[in-house]
Amino acid sequence: MHQLWLKPGKERSLQRRHPWIYATAVARVSGTPGAGDLVGVHGADGRWLAWAAYAPDSAIRARCWSFDEADRIDRHWLAARVREAVGRRDRLAPVSDALRLVYGEADRLPGLIVDRYADQLVVQLQAPGVQAHSDVLVEALCEASGCHHAFERSDSALRARESLSTPAGPARGGERGVLRGREPPERIQVREHGLAYWVDVRRGHKTGFYIDQRDNRRLALELARELASTLGRAPRALNAFCYTGSFSVVMARGGARDSVSVDSSADALALGRANVELNGLEAEAVQWRCDDVFEQLRALREAAERFDLIVLDPPKFASSHHHVERAARAYKDINLNALRLLQPRGVLMTFSCSGAIDVDLFQKIVAGAVIDAGVDCVMRSRLGPGEDHPMLMTHPEGEYLKGLLLQRL
Protein backbone atom coordinates (compact mmCIF):
# COMPACT_ATOMS: atom_id res chain seq x y z
CA MET A 1 0.00 0.00 0.00
CA HIS A 2 1.39 3.40 -1.04
CA GLN A 3 1.20 6.28 1.41
CA LEU A 4 1.10 10.04 0.92
CA TRP A 5 1.97 12.62 3.59
CA LEU A 6 0.81 16.23 3.52
CA LYS A 7 2.74 19.32 4.51
CA PRO A 8 1.88 20.88 7.88
CA GLY A 9 -1.45 22.74 7.76
CA LYS A 10 -2.50 21.19 4.45
CA GLU A 11 -4.76 18.65 6.14
CA ARG A 12 -7.47 21.24 6.85
CA SER A 13 -9.22 20.91 3.49
CA LEU A 14 -9.42 17.13 3.87
CA GLN A 15 -10.74 17.50 7.39
CA ARG A 16 -13.51 19.55 5.75
CA ARG A 17 -13.93 16.62 3.32
CA HIS A 18 -12.77 18.46 0.22
CA PRO A 19 -11.82 15.68 -2.25
CA TRP A 20 -8.82 17.24 -4.01
CA ILE A 21 -5.16 17.21 -2.94
CA TYR A 22 -2.95 19.60 -4.87
CA ALA A 23 0.66 18.81 -5.67
CA THR A 24 1.78 21.82 -3.64
CA ALA A 25 0.24 20.25 -0.51
CA VAL A 26 2.24 17.00 -0.73
CA ALA A 27 5.29 16.55 1.47
CA ARG A 28 6.33 13.06 0.37
CA VAL A 29 5.07 9.78 -1.05
CA SER A 30 6.21 6.28 -0.18
CA GLY A 31 7.20 4.17 -3.15
CA THR A 32 6.41 5.10 -6.72
CA PRO A 33 2.63 4.86 -7.16
CA GLY A 34 1.44 5.00 -10.74
CA ALA A 35 -1.49 6.86 -12.24
CA GLY A 36 -4.69 5.77 -10.54
CA ASP A 37 -3.01 3.75 -7.79
CA LEU A 38 -4.57 3.80 -4.35
CA VAL A 39 -2.77 5.81 -1.68
CA GLY A 40 -3.47 6.27 1.99
CA VAL A 41 -3.33 9.98 2.82
CA HIS A 42 -1.85 11.17 6.13
CA GLY A 43 -1.40 14.52 7.80
CA ALA A 44 2.01 15.84 8.77
CA ASP A 45 1.44 14.32 12.22
CA GLY A 46 0.92 10.86 10.66
CA ARG A 47 -2.83 10.78 11.24
CA TRP A 48 -4.80 8.90 8.54
CA LEU A 49 -7.12 11.18 6.54
CA ALA A 50 -8.41 9.54 3.36
CA TRP A 51 -8.11 6.97 0.60
CA ALA A 52 -7.26 8.60 -2.73
CA ALA A 53 -6.36 7.85 -6.35
CA TYR A 54 -2.87 9.11 -7.21
CA ALA A 55 -2.10 11.25 -10.27
CA PRO A 56 1.69 11.67 -10.53
CA ASP A 57 1.63 14.22 -13.35
CA SER A 58 -1.41 16.33 -12.42
CA ALA A 59 -1.67 19.57 -10.46
CA ILE A 60 -4.41 17.75 -8.56
CA ARG A 61 -2.02 15.11 -7.24
CA ALA A 62 -4.72 12.90 -5.70
CA ARG A 63 -8.52 12.70 -5.64
CA CYS A 64 -10.17 11.23 -2.58
CA TRP A 65 -12.37 8.17 -2.84
CA SER A 66 -13.34 8.00 0.82
CA PHE A 67 -12.78 9.59 4.22
CA ASP A 68 -13.66 6.34 6.04
CA GLU A 69 -10.58 4.30 6.94
CA ALA A 70 -12.68 1.12 7.14
CA ASP A 71 -13.58 1.34 3.44
CA ARG A 72 -11.84 -0.97 1.01
CA ILE A 73 -11.61 0.63 -2.42
CA ASP A 74 -12.12 -2.44 -4.56
CA ARG A 75 -14.48 -3.52 -7.34
CA HIS A 76 -17.31 -4.10 -4.84
CA TRP A 77 -16.94 -0.60 -3.36
CA LEU A 78 -16.84 0.99 -6.83
CA ALA A 79 -19.86 -0.99 -8.05
CA ALA A 80 -21.80 0.06 -4.95
CA ARG A 81 -21.04 3.74 -5.62
CA VAL A 82 -22.29 3.32 -9.20
CA ARG A 83 -25.51 1.64 -8.07
CA GLU A 84 -26.15 4.39 -5.53
CA ALA A 85 -25.59 7.12 -8.13
CA VAL A 86 -27.85 5.53 -10.71
CA GLY A 87 -30.49 4.81 -8.08
CA ARG A 88 -30.63 8.46 -7.03
CA ARG A 89 -31.79 9.35 -10.55
CA ASP A 90 -34.56 6.73 -10.77
CA ARG A 91 -37.26 9.24 -9.88
CA LEU A 92 -36.38 11.30 -12.97
CA ALA A 93 -37.06 8.47 -15.42
CA PRO A 94 -40.71 9.49 -16.05
CA VAL A 95 -39.52 13.01 -16.92
CA SER A 96 -36.78 12.13 -19.40
CA ASP A 97 -34.60 9.32 -20.70
CA ALA A 98 -31.72 11.78 -21.10
CA LEU A 99 -30.13 11.84 -17.64
CA ARG A 100 -26.80 12.36 -15.95
CA LEU A 101 -26.27 9.11 -14.05
CA VAL A 102 -22.90 9.91 -12.46
CA TYR A 103 -21.53 13.36 -11.69
CA GLY A 104 -17.96 12.89 -10.51
CA GLU A 105 -17.14 14.09 -7.03
CA ALA A 106 -20.81 14.63 -6.15
CA ASP A 107 -21.31 10.86 -6.49
CA ARG A 108 -18.00 9.96 -4.78
CA LEU A 109 -16.54 8.85 -8.11
CA PRO A 110 -14.12 11.73 -8.86
CA GLY A 111 -13.45 12.28 -12.53
CA LEU A 112 -16.30 10.07 -13.81
CA ILE A 113 -19.14 11.58 -15.84
CA VAL A 114 -21.87 9.33 -17.26
CA ASP A 115 -24.89 10.43 -19.29
CA ARG A 116 -27.72 8.23 -20.45
CA TYR A 117 -29.49 8.75 -23.78
CA ALA A 118 -32.29 6.18 -24.09
CA ASP A 119 -30.39 2.85 -24.06
CA GLN A 120 -26.98 4.42 -24.75
CA LEU A 121 -24.45 5.38 -22.07
CA VAL A 122 -21.85 8.06 -22.79
CA VAL A 123 -18.86 7.98 -20.45
CA GLN A 124 -16.17 10.53 -19.68
CA LEU A 125 -13.05 9.32 -17.84
CA GLN A 126 -11.36 12.50 -16.67
CA ALA A 127 -9.01 11.33 -13.90
CA PRO A 128 -6.48 8.50 -13.46
CA GLY A 129 -8.46 6.78 -10.70
CA VAL A 130 -11.56 6.14 -12.78
CA GLN A 131 -9.54 5.34 -15.88
CA ALA A 132 -7.63 2.66 -13.96
CA HIS A 133 -10.93 1.04 -12.95
CA SER A 134 -12.84 1.66 -16.17
CA ASP A 135 -13.60 -2.04 -16.76
CA VAL A 136 -15.25 -2.41 -13.36
CA LEU A 137 -17.08 0.90 -13.66
CA VAL A 138 -18.46 0.24 -17.14
CA GLU A 139 -19.66 -3.22 -16.12
CA ALA A 140 -21.38 -1.77 -13.04
CA LEU A 141 -22.92 1.05 -15.06
CA CYS A 142 -24.44 -1.29 -17.63
CA GLU A 143 -25.80 -3.55 -14.90
CA ALA A 144 -27.25 -0.73 -12.80
CA SER A 145 -28.82 1.17 -15.71
CA GLY A 146 -29.95 -1.76 -17.84
CA CYS A 147 -28.12 -0.24 -20.82
CA HIS A 148 -25.91 -2.55 -22.87
CA HIS A 149 -24.08 0.08 -24.93
CA ALA A 150 -21.39 2.42 -23.59
CA PHE A 151 -19.40 4.94 -25.62
CA GLU A 152 -16.50 7.06 -24.37
CA ARG A 153 -16.41 10.80 -25.02
CA SER A 154 -13.64 12.00 -22.74
CA ASP A 155 -12.54 15.62 -22.99
CA SER A 156 -9.12 15.51 -24.61
CA ALA A 157 -7.95 18.89 -23.22
CA LEU A 158 -8.76 17.87 -19.66
CA ARG A 159 -7.13 14.47 -20.18
CA ALA A 160 -4.01 16.26 -21.38
CA ARG A 161 -3.95 18.39 -18.22
CA GLU A 162 -4.25 15.20 -16.18
CA SER A 163 -1.50 13.59 -18.33
CA LEU A 164 -3.76 10.63 -19.04
CA SER A 165 -2.46 8.11 -21.52
CA THR A 166 -4.53 5.99 -23.90
CA PRO A 167 -4.24 2.40 -22.67
CA ALA A 168 -5.19 -0.54 -24.84
CA GLY A 169 -8.20 -2.79 -24.30
CA PRO A 170 -11.95 -2.80 -25.02
CA ALA A 171 -12.85 -0.78 -21.91
CA ARG A 172 -9.64 0.87 -20.77
CA GLY A 173 -10.43 4.46 -21.73
CA GLY A 174 -8.85 6.63 -24.40
CA GLU A 175 -10.90 9.75 -25.26
CA ARG A 176 -13.35 8.29 -27.78
CA GLY A 177 -14.67 4.87 -28.75
CA VAL A 178 -16.93 1.96 -27.89
CA LEU A 179 -16.50 0.66 -24.34
CA ARG A 180 -19.34 -1.87 -24.41
CA GLY A 181 -21.88 -3.05 -26.99
CA ARG A 182 -22.30 -1.46 -30.40
CA GLU A 183 -21.26 1.79 -32.07
CA PRO A 184 -23.85 4.53 -31.41
CA PRO A 185 -26.18 5.37 -34.31
CA GLU A 186 -25.90 8.69 -36.12
CA ARG A 187 -28.79 10.05 -34.06
CA ILE A 188 -30.47 8.94 -30.87
CA GLN A 189 -33.98 10.13 -30.05
CA VAL A 190 -34.62 11.13 -26.44
CA ARG A 191 -37.73 12.42 -24.70
CA GLU A 192 -38.06 15.21 -22.16
CA HIS A 193 -41.19 16.74 -20.63
CA GLY A 194 -43.33 15.37 -23.46
CA LEU A 195 -41.04 16.64 -26.24
CA ALA A 196 -38.44 14.78 -28.29
CA TYR A 197 -34.93 15.62 -29.45
CA TRP A 198 -32.28 14.12 -31.69
CA VAL A 199 -28.86 13.70 -30.09
CA ASP A 200 -25.51 13.05 -31.78
CA VAL A 201 -23.43 11.43 -29.03
CA ARG A 202 -20.38 10.89 -31.23
CA ARG A 203 -19.78 14.44 -32.44
CA GLY A 204 -22.08 16.72 -30.44
CA HIS A 205 -21.02 19.15 -27.73
CA LYS A 206 -20.20 17.67 -24.33
CA THR A 207 -21.74 14.19 -24.50
CA GLY A 208 -24.17 15.25 -27.24
CA PHE A 209 -26.83 17.31 -25.47
CA TYR A 210 -27.20 19.87 -22.68
CA ILE A 211 -28.92 17.62 -20.17
CA ASP A 212 -28.22 20.14 -17.42
CA GLN A 213 -30.71 22.61 -18.96
CA ARG A 214 -33.73 20.31 -18.63
CA ASP A 215 -35.51 22.35 -15.95
CA ASN A 216 -34.65 25.64 -17.65
CA ARG A 217 -36.11 24.41 -20.94
CA ARG A 218 -39.34 23.65 -19.10
CA LEU A 219 -39.23 27.16 -17.62
CA ALA A 220 -38.70 28.71 -21.08
CA LEU A 221 -41.84 26.96 -22.33
CA GLU A 222 -43.82 28.33 -19.39
CA LEU A 223 -42.40 31.82 -19.94
CA ALA A 224 -43.45 31.78 -23.59
CA ARG A 225 -46.98 30.86 -22.53
CA GLU A 226 -46.95 33.53 -19.82
CA LEU A 227 -45.86 36.20 -22.29
CA ALA A 228 -48.47 35.13 -24.84
CA SER A 229 -51.12 35.59 -22.17
CA THR A 230 -49.89 38.94 -20.81
CA LEU A 231 -49.05 40.46 -24.20
CA GLY A 232 -52.18 39.19 -25.92
CA ARG A 233 -50.11 37.99 -28.90
CA ALA A 234 -47.50 35.44 -29.86
CA PRO A 235 -44.17 36.44 -28.28
CA ARG A 236 -41.05 36.70 -30.40
CA ALA A 237 -38.03 34.81 -29.09
CA LEU A 238 -34.28 34.90 -29.67
CA ASN A 239 -32.15 31.85 -28.90
CA ALA A 240 -28.46 32.82 -29.06
CA PHE A 241 -25.84 30.06 -29.09
CA CYS A 242 -28.81 27.82 -29.85
CA TYR A 243 -26.82 24.66 -30.64
CA THR A 244 -29.42 22.03 -31.74
CA GLY A 245 -32.35 24.27 -30.87
CA SER A 246 -33.78 22.67 -27.73
CA PHE A 247 -34.73 26.08 -26.28
CA SER A 248 -36.13 27.02 -29.71
CA VAL A 249 -38.38 23.96 -29.65
CA VAL A 250 -39.81 24.64 -26.20
CA MET A 251 -40.40 28.33 -26.89
CA ALA A 252 -42.19 27.48 -30.14
CA ARG A 253 -44.29 24.91 -28.27
CA GLY A 254 -45.11 27.67 -25.78
CA GLY A 255 -46.46 29.87 -28.57
CA ALA A 256 -43.46 31.91 -29.74
CA ARG A 257 -43.50 32.80 -33.44
CA ASP A 258 -41.17 34.50 -35.94
CA SER A 259 -38.30 33.65 -33.61
CA VAL A 260 -34.58 33.74 -34.39
CA SER A 261 -32.05 31.04 -33.44
CA VAL A 262 -28.34 31.70 -33.96
CA ASP A 263 -25.33 29.41 -33.86
CA SER A 264 -22.01 29.21 -35.71
CA SER A 265 -22.39 25.48 -36.47
CA ALA A 266 -24.32 24.54 -39.61
CA ASP A 267 -24.49 20.91 -38.44
CA ALA A 268 -26.06 21.94 -35.13
CA LEU A 269 -28.63 24.09 -36.93
CA ALA A 270 -29.52 21.19 -39.23
CA LEU A 271 -30.28 19.10 -36.16
CA GLY A 272 -32.27 22.03 -34.76
CA ARG A 273 -34.49 22.06 -37.83
CA ALA A 274 -34.92 18.30 -37.47
CA ASN A 275 -35.95 18.79 -33.83
CA VAL A 276 -38.63 21.31 -34.82
CA GLU A 277 -39.97 18.83 -37.38
CA LEU A 278 -39.73 15.94 -34.90
CA ASN A 279 -42.11 17.75 -32.55
CA GLY A 280 -44.66 18.63 -35.23
CA LEU A 281 -44.01 22.37 -35.02
CA GLU A 282 -44.34 24.78 -37.93
CA ALA A 283 -41.01 25.24 -39.68
CA GLU A 284 -41.79 28.96 -40.06
CA ALA A 285 -41.93 29.42 -36.28
CA VAL A 286 -38.12 29.60 -36.15
CA GLN A 287 -35.59 31.38 -38.37
CA TRP A 288 -32.16 29.70 -38.29
CA ARG A 289 -29.09 31.86 -38.75
CA CYS A 290 -25.59 30.41 -39.08
CA ASP A 291 -23.38 33.20 -37.86
CA ASP A 292 -21.06 34.42 -35.13
CA VAL A 293 -23.41 35.24 -32.26
CA PHE A 294 -21.51 38.38 -31.19
CA GLU A 295 -21.79 39.78 -34.70
CA GLN A 296 -25.41 38.69 -35.10
CA LEU A 297 -26.47 40.41 -31.87
CA ARG A 298 -24.98 43.65 -33.14
CA ALA A 299 -26.63 43.17 -36.56
CA LEU A 300 -30.03 42.60 -34.92
CA ARG A 301 -29.58 45.84 -32.96
CA GLU A 302 -28.67 47.77 -36.09
CA ALA A 303 -31.77 46.37 -37.80
CA ALA A 304 -33.91 47.57 -34.85
CA GLU A 305 -35.14 44.04 -34.14
CA ARG A 306 -36.91 43.43 -30.83
CA PHE A 307 -37.72 40.30 -28.85
CA ASP A 308 -39.97 39.38 -25.93
CA LEU A 309 -38.01 36.33 -24.74
CA ILE A 310 -34.25 35.91 -25.10
CA VAL A 311 -32.05 32.95 -24.14
CA LEU A 312 -28.28 33.39 -23.89
CA ASP A 313 -26.58 30.02 -23.31
CA PRO A 314 -23.00 30.47 -24.54
CA PRO A 315 -20.21 27.90 -24.40
CA LYS A 316 -17.59 28.10 -21.66
CA PHE A 317 -15.77 31.43 -21.98
CA ALA A 318 -13.30 30.78 -19.11
CA SER A 319 -11.62 27.39 -18.90
CA SER A 320 -9.54 28.51 -15.89
CA HIS A 321 -9.04 31.48 -13.60
CA HIS A 322 -6.45 32.79 -16.08
CA HIS A 323 -9.26 33.60 -18.54
CA VAL A 324 -11.72 35.26 -16.16
CA GLU A 325 -11.06 38.86 -17.24
CA ARG A 326 -11.47 38.07 -20.93
CA ALA A 327 -14.57 35.97 -20.22
CA ALA A 328 -16.13 38.76 -18.15
CA ARG A 329 -15.83 41.12 -21.13
CA ALA A 330 -17.50 38.55 -23.39
CA TYR A 331 -20.39 37.96 -20.96
CA LYS A 332 -20.83 41.73 -20.60
CA ASP A 333 -20.92 42.18 -24.38
CA ILE A 334 -23.59 39.59 -25.13
CA ASN A 335 -25.79 40.57 -22.20
CA LEU A 336 -25.55 44.28 -23.03
CA ASN A 337 -26.67 43.66 -26.61
CA ALA A 338 -29.40 41.24 -25.54
CA LEU A 339 -30.83 43.77 -23.07
CA ARG A 340 -30.94 46.39 -25.82
CA LEU A 341 -32.91 43.94 -27.98
CA LEU A 342 -35.39 43.14 -25.21
CA GLN A 343 -38.87 44.62 -25.34
CA PRO A 344 -40.39 46.27 -22.24
CA ARG A 345 -41.92 43.48 -20.10
CA GLY A 346 -39.66 41.06 -21.97
CA VAL A 347 -37.71 38.28 -20.28
CA LEU A 348 -34.02 37.34 -20.51
CA MET A 349 -32.65 33.95 -19.47
CA THR A 350 -28.87 34.31 -19.33
CA PHE A 351 -26.35 31.62 -18.41
CA SER A 352 -22.69 30.94 -17.76
CA CYS A 353 -21.20 27.44 -17.72
CA SER A 354 -17.69 28.70 -16.83
CA GLY A 355 -16.70 27.17 -13.52
CA ALA A 356 -14.13 29.94 -13.04
CA ILE A 357 -16.95 32.53 -13.05
CA ASP A 358 -18.80 32.15 -9.77
CA VAL A 359 -22.41 33.13 -9.13
CA ASP A 360 -21.60 36.46 -7.52
CA LEU A 361 -19.24 37.52 -10.29
CA PHE A 362 -21.72 36.51 -13.00
CA GLN A 363 -24.47 38.52 -11.34
CA LYS A 364 -22.12 41.50 -11.07
CA ILE A 365 -21.25 41.25 -14.78
CA VAL A 366 -24.90 41.12 -15.81
CA ALA A 367 -25.77 43.99 -13.46
CA GLY A 368 -23.09 46.05 -15.22
CA ALA A 369 -24.70 45.23 -18.56
CA VAL A 370 -28.10 46.36 -17.23
CA ILE A 371 -26.61 49.68 -16.11
CA ASP A 372 -24.86 50.28 -19.43
CA ALA A 373 -27.98 49.32 -21.40
CA GLY A 374 -29.90 52.03 -19.54
CA VAL A 375 -32.88 49.82 -18.81
CA ASP A 376 -34.69 48.85 -15.62
CA CYS A 377 -34.73 45.13 -14.87
CA VAL A 378 -35.68 42.93 -11.98
CA MET A 379 -34.14 39.54 -11.28
CA ARG A 380 -37.00 37.09 -10.95
CA SER A 381 -34.81 34.16 -9.94
CA ARG A 382 -31.42 32.52 -10.13
CA LEU A 383 -31.17 29.46 -12.35
CA GLY A 384 -29.08 26.30 -12.22
CA PRO A 385 -28.85 22.71 -13.47
CA GLY A 386 -31.30 19.89 -12.82
CA GLU A 387 -31.10 17.68 -9.76
CA ASP A 388 -29.12 15.01 -11.62
CA HIS A 389 -26.22 17.52 -11.53
CA PRO A 390 -25.90 17.94 -7.74
CA MET A 391 -23.14 19.92 -6.07
CA LEU A 392 -21.21 18.27 -3.27
CA MET A 393 -21.34 20.86 -0.48
CA THR A 394 -17.67 20.38 0.35
CA HIS A 395 -16.68 20.70 -3.32
CA PRO A 396 -18.01 24.04 -4.64
CA GLU A 397 -15.85 23.61 -7.77
CA GLY A 398 -18.57 21.22 -8.96
CA GLU A 399 -20.95 24.15 -9.48
CA TYR A 400 -20.50 25.34 -13.05
CA LEU A 401 -23.90 26.20 -14.61
CA LYS A 402 -25.48 29.34 -13.24
CA GLY A 403 -28.12 31.59 -14.69
CA LEU A 404 -30.34 34.58 -14.08
CA LEU A 405 -33.94 35.18 -15.07
CA LEU A 406 -34.40 38.91 -15.68
CA GLN A 407 -37.49 40.87 -16.67
CA ARG A 408 -37.39 44.32 -18.17
CA LEU A 409 -39.80 46.80 -16.61
| Residue 29 CB partners (closer than 8 Å, separation 6+) | 2, 3, 4, 5, 39, 54
Res. 175 pLDDT band, cuts 50 70 90: confident
353 part of the active site: yes
Give per-residue pLDDT as tens, 222-249. Answer: 999 999 999 999 999 999 999 999 999 9
75-185: same fold as 2-66?
no
Give me the percent of the chain exceeding a pLDDT of 70. 95
Give per-residue pLDDT as tens, 253-312. Answer: 999 999 999 999 999 999 999 999 999 999 999 999 999 999 999 999 999 999 999 999
Give per-residue pLDDT as tens, 38-71. Answer: 999 999 999 999 999 999 999 999 999 999 999 9
Res. 170 pLDDT band, cuts 50 70 90: very low
Q: What is the CATH number of domain 75-185?
A: 3.30.750.80
pLDDT average, residue stretch 94-98: 98
pLDDT of residue 321: 86
CATH-assigned architecture of domain 2-66: Roll (2.30)
Pairing type for strands 286-290 and 377-383 reads unpaired
Q: What is the CATH number of domain 210-408?
A: 3.40.50.150
pLDDT average, residue stretch 99-128: 98
pTM beyond 0.85: yes
Mean pLDDT of the chain: 95
pLDDT average, residue stretch 150-174: 65
pLDDT of residue 168: 42
How would you write the chain as a 3-class SS string? CEEEEECCCCCHHHHCCCCEEEHHHEEEECCCCCCCCEEEEECCCCCEEEEEEECCCCCEEEEEEECCCCCCCCHHHHHHHHHHHHHHCHHHCCCECEEEEEEHHHHCCCCEEEEEECCEEEEEECCHHHHHCHHHHHHHHHHHHCCCEEEEECCHHHHHHCCCCCCCCCCCCCCEEEEECCCCCCCEEEEECCEEEEECCCCCCCCCCCHHHHHHHHHHHHHHHHHHHHHCCCCCEEEECCCCCHHHHHHHHCCCCCEEEEECCHHHHHHHHHHHHHCCCCHHHEEEEECCHHHHHHHHHHCCCCEEEEEECCCCCCCCHHHHHHHHHHHHHHHHHHHHHEEEEEEEEEEECCCCCCHHHHHHHHHHHHHHHCCCEEEEEEECCCCCCCCCCCCHHHCCCEEEEEEEC
- Annotated catalytic residue, options 147, 242, 353, 377: 353
From the list 65, 73, 85, 60, the residue with the least C-alpha distance to 17 is 65
- Residue spans per domain, the chain: 2-66, 75-185, 210-408
Cα Rg of the chain (Å, integer):
23
pLDDT of residue 358 exceeding 50, the answer is yes
